Amino acid sequence: MLRKRLLTQGEAIVLIALGGALGANLRFALGAIAGEALATTAAVNAVGCFGLGLLLFEARADELLSKRFRYIFATGFFASFTTYSTFIADIALTTPSVALVYITASYAAGFGGVFASYRVVSAVSNEPIQLSAEGER
Amino acid sequence: MEPVLLSVGGAAGAVSRYLVGLALDNELFPWSTLAVNVLGSFVLGVVLFGVSNDDMLLLVGVGFCGAFTTFSSFGFQTVVLWEQGEQKKAAINALANLVVSLAAFGGAWLLIAG
């Protein structure tokens, strides 16, 4: 069952790989430029939440963007640009008080980014956003 | 050399996440994102505490684990649960990703240092 699905997933895999490579490079480059690790990760995650939200809510409303575009930029780029593992390592390796601020800020900015993207897509699309649709990842 | 390591790691991480999503697809709860975030946090811990090679850190730690795990899909799915009226599931998801991933990272530390 899974094997049969994999064989038909060739194009998706190539596009997601491309987006993933782009996302990882941009995340690293921004960290190298900014220098401030925790603030960079929090900002990357917030911006990525907003970007992914735009694409995935759009897919649940007007569906103007193609599935191929979503493979590259949603599942590939934005999901890879943001990171949970670095977020966790940052928390574990800093002081408890900094960790508390960092967790709160990251969650608030991340969820805030998704809510903001919901507002934007609601405002510009003709069709309402279908919340019950199956998710993309 | 850095872009090559990051590209290979990032591409492999993104595709692996997608495949985990296909295997664990579930409309009721975002299990696959929880799984990749926990597993990726564990692997990053193993690399950070157990590997001193900078190239491996870039390839596996920054590239693979960074792309395999995702904050944006996690955020999106949490907000969608909330907006669907599933506030309890949304809160559990937000907390479970944090607590279980931290435990996995700590487990990697215990495994390597202990």
pLDDT in tens, B28-37: 999 999 999 9
**Cα separation of A113 and A81, whole Å?**
15
Q: Which residue has the higher pLDDT, A137 or A95?
A: A95
Helix (H) or strand (E) holding A6: helix A2-7
- Within an 8 Å CB–CB cutoff, is residue A81 touching chain B? yes
A84 vs B15: CB contact, 8 Å cut-off?
A: no
Task: Compute the average pLDDT of residues A52-70.
Answer: 96
- Within an 8 Å CB–CB cutoff, is residue A52 touching chain B? yes
Half-sphere exposure of B15 (CA within 13 A, CB side): 17
Q: What is the pLDDT of residue B109?
A: 97
Q: What is the pLDDT of residues A43-55, one digit of tens each?
A: 999 999 999 999 9
Q: What is the pLDDT of residue A137?
A: 44
Q: What is the pLDDT of residues A67-114, one digit of tens each?
A: 999 999 999 999 999 999 999 999 999 999 999 999 999 999 999 999
Decide: helix, strand or coil at residue B111.
helix
Angle at alpha carbon of residue A57, lines to A53 and A63, rounded to 5°: 130
This complex has an ipTM of 0.97
Mention every residue, 6+ apart, whose C-beta is less than 8 A from residue A28: B2, B6, B58, B62, B66
Asked if pLDDT for residue A2 goes beyond 80, the answer is no
Closest CA to A78 of A27, A123, A39, A34: A27
Tokens of A83: 């990171």
Q: Which of A27, A70, A85 to mutate to test the interface with B (most CBs of B within 10 A)?
A: A85
